Amino acid sequence: MAKLRRKGKTREAKLLLICCEGAETEPQYFAHWAQHFPRVNILVVTPSENRSAPEYIVQLAKHHMRKLKFEEGDDAWLVTDRDRWPGNRGH
């Protein structure tokens, strides 16, 4: 993998930002991934209480992408419970 530059420093790993609606199970699950993918910096972020609707997860992702100065090769994933939120099922 090619080295990526961030803030004048070289980093070896890409960044994977995972924004989850759940604050317990999902972070534990993705923390386990970090042990198996050392060339990926995995950051799991959860919303503050009562802010877990999909639109808040999108806002949370956008905020952290700006804050972390996302670069080419970095990824952001949004994880929500599809059964919990009505509308747009199957999209």
Over residues 33-52, mean pLDDT: 85
Q: Check if the beta carbon of residue 34 is closer than 8 Å to that of residue 60.
A: no
Per-domain residue ranges of the chain: 12-79
Fold of 12-79: Rossmann fold (3.40.50)
Quote the percentage of the chain above a pLDDT of 70: 76
The backbone torsions φ and ψ at residue 56, rounded to the nearest 5 degrees and listed phi first, read: -75, -35
pLDDT tens per residue, range 62-78: 999 999 999 989 999 99
**Predicted local distance difference test score (pLDDT) of residue 18:** 94
pLDDT for residue 34 is more than 70: yes
**Predicted local distance difference test score (pLDDT) of residue 23:** 83
Residues 6+ apart with CB under 8 A from 59: none
Over residues 26-37, mean pLDDT: 84
**Predicted local distance difference test score (pLDDT) of residue 84:** 63
pLDDT tens per residue, range 12-31: 678 999 999 888 888 888 88
pLDDT for residue 53 is more than 90: no
